Chain A
Amino acid sequence: EVQLVESGGGLVQPGGSLRLSCAASGFNFSIYSMSWVRRAPGKGLEWVANIKQDENEKSYVDSVKGRFTISRDNAKNSLYLQMNNLRGEDTAVYYCARDAGESGHYTSNLWGQGTLVTVSS
């Protein structure tokens, strides 16, 4: 079955760290660009970060630059998001998403169920 399964969410204090993981199965993970997208409670979707197939190119939304790091392990069919110096506004459901597209223009056509990150003291 083609799927993405996130893990690693939970409750963390402001200033703390978490590492999210996303396990891919049922498709050739190594040939796809991948993204993280989040949805804060009562708010809309926000694209967070993207990583190209060979990990050479990474992009981030300004609000997480310098705090979050996206990475992947193609041998393990896994995507990661290291989140440091977490803030209350980072509280959200984080989705792992597979990208589809061309030449730097990507939509996301496969999504995981999401993992909840709550930043609170």
Chain B
Amino acid sequence: DIVVTQSPDSLAVSLGERATINCKSSQSVLYSSTNKNYLAWYQQKPGQPPKLLIYWASTRESGVPDRFSGSGSVTDFTLTISTLQAEDVAVYYCQQYYNTPRTFGQGTKVEIK
């Protein structure tokens, strides 16, 4: 199975500041025939189901604010929230969907400083 590891486990950021979450996979999730990275980011707020933010490592899902961006390739990826808003308090997960089982990272809790 592909192991996905996020860092940090939690971070506290001031409103309007940048938040950066890292995600590392134990093997490449770049599929050579499509040249796509099969890595997604989800946001889960308390009491709510997860919400897809980013797929193919850097493509925003429809309706997701542009302050959320994804980058990276092969095994190393980053989710950036450019200017943190109060409504962004949540746990964020990366997930590889290169193969099954589709493994998630352990999650990163984002709070307001």
Residues in A lying within 8 Å of B, measured CB to CB: 35, 37, 39, 44-47, 50, 59-62, 95, 100-109, 111-114
Beyond A44-B93, A45-B50, A111-B51, is A105–B104 a contact (Cβ under 8 Å)?
no
B38 within 8 A of A: yes
Q: Which of B1-49 contact A (CB under 8 A)?
A: 1, 31, 34, 36, 38, 40, 42, 44, 48-49
Contacting pair B49 A107 (CB below 8 A): no
Chain A contact residues: helix, strand, loop or mixed? strand
Shortest C-beta distance, B29 to chain A (Å), equals 9
Residues in B lying within 8 Å of A, measured CB to CB: 1, 31, 34, 36, 38, 40, 42, 44, 48-52, 55, 61, 91, 93, 95, 97-107
Contacting pair A45 B31 (CB below 8 A): no
Chain B contact residues: helix, strand, loop or mixed? loop
Contacting pair B50 A105 (CB below 8 A): no
Contacting pair B52 A45 (CB below 8 A): no
